[in-house]
Structure formats: structure tokens, C-alpha cells
Amino acid sequence: MEELLARIPQDGTVYVGEFVKAPFRSNTPSPSYSLHIRPRTTSGRRIQTGSAQIILASGQALPVEIVGYAAHVHPRPEAIRSGQWTNRDQLVSIRPTDLTEEQAQQARLIVQYASPA
């Protein structure tokens, strides 16, 4: 993983995030996988709806589609104090068909390239 991260440009054109916990299947408001992610890059770029890739522990890249994200998250104070949540974290959703349960357990990173202007 560190080799992959070393090749990522730090110019804000690529978002790289790690999973705070394994993606989990949700059925509300519609079927999807929910992802709690934390950026690994310092560009300040946030993930957007659109195409991305999930990198598995094996290094395999899976194409996924970010279909939504939580605009307002109000974590509990103890989650902030313990480091379970930071102000840079995001909750996003991908299509339920983009991952299997087994792949969800192996997910390590999420990568998204900026759309051309």
C-alpha cells in the first residue's frame, strides 16, 4: 500500500482515503454500501459523487460509483475525543452491486481522480 501511496500526486488531483472501519451494507434510504473514510492525502480535496476505485488488501483495484454522501454528520463527543471521528472524515455510499461482502472486508483504500475541468 505504501508503494501505491508514494506514486499518488500530492497536487490535489487525487483523493486517497482509508477506511476507518469496513464498508457495510445499508438498506436506508436505499440499498448501498456505506463507507466511513478518512483522507490519507493532505490536499484538502474531498471525495465527490462519481467514479472511484477501492483498493483491496491484495492490491486489486475495483471500480465503484460514489452515489451519495452525508453532508451533515454530527458525531458524538466521545467519538471525537477517542479519534474514531475527525473533522476530515466523510460518510459516502456506493452502489450495492459494486462490492461483495468478502471484498468489503478486504477494502483498504479508496481513490478518486479529479474530473477534468
Per-residue pLDDT of the chain (117 residues; tens, 9 = 90+): 677 777 777 777 889 999 998 899 988 778 899 999 999 877 778 889 999 999 999 989 999 999 998 877 888 889 889 988 888 899 999 999 999 999 999 999 999 988 765
2-113 has which fold?
A: Thrombin, subunit H (2.40.10)
| Per-residue cell: 94 | 456506493
116 DSSP assignment: P
Q: Tell me the sheet residues that pair with 76.
A: none
The pTM of the full predicted model, rounded to 2 decimals, is 0.84
- Which residues fall within 8 angstroms of residue 115, CB to CB, at 6 or more apart? 48, 50
Tell me, what's the pLDDT at 117?
Answer: 54
Tell me, what's the pLDDT at 116?
Answer: 60
Residues 108/18, Cβ–Cβ less than 8 Å: yes
| Per-residue cell: 13 | 488531483
DSSP sequence for 34-89: EEEEEESSSS-----SEEEEEEETTS-EEEEEEEEE-S-----HHHHHHTS--TT-
Residues 40/18, Cβ–Cβ less than 8 Å: yes
Tell me, what's the pLDDT at 41?
Answer: 78
The DSSP H or E segment spanning 103 is helix 101-106
